[in-house]
Amino acid sequence: MPTIHRSMAPALSFNGGFVDTIGFLALQGLFTAHVTGNFVTLGVSIVHGTSGALAKLLALPVFALVVGLSHIAAVSINRRGLTPLRPLLILHTLLLALFGVFAVWLGPFSDGDSAAALLTGMTGVAAMAIQNAISRQHLKGAPPTTLMTGNVTQGAIDVFALIGLLDPEQRAAIRQRLKPVGLNLLGFTVGCIGAALLYLGVGLWCLALPVAVAVWTCVRTFGSQDSVA
């Protein structure tokens, strides 16, 4: 795995946890990066009659549409002999910044299905959809930056595989695979906890932090050949 990917994936994992937590706290239980969670909270909204059901229903098609468009854009960029990672990261950063602007300007959101909440929420979903597409297709060899269930599963398998495994080469290979998984899990966890604490302290202005992290990931790709997917 290229060096740039090793450093970028934990940063994006931090953002994944941070933005997902803020979306859940501020937008009536909307997960911006975790599609599966929206099915669960949709059921909760229906049972308890709380707002946000429409946003959770819209999140899936919006997420899928943006992922698909990101793929088409990446293919088009590749055909021109260019690297798609950098422009996709820039677009992701711009959408994340727009999400923050909408959140501060239009929030707080007492009704998760209001026009303001839907505009803000779907902007966040679009930003995180691009991050998921980047992680899946353009950070080859890096663990997922938002899907922590898979990372925990792989981590648990590898940890228990080390028990009783004597071959030094196999043990080294497992340890090498465990390190990026562990870093992504740590980044995501710190993002979740940091988002909760900063939300309590400064409200939705805390979204400036993941935007700054996203800007850093963009800067990180300049002048490096490691950004090739």
Q: How much is the average pLDDT of 178-199?
A: 93
What does the pLDDT read at residue 13?
94
Q: Quote the tokens at residue 186.
A: 């740590």
Please tell me the predicted confidence (pLDDT) of residue 150. Answer: 78
Chain segment 62-73, per-residue pLDDT in tens: 999 999 999 999
Question: pLDDT tens for residues 18-38?
Answer: 999 999 999 988 889 877 777
User: Whole-model pTM above 0.85?
Assistant: yes
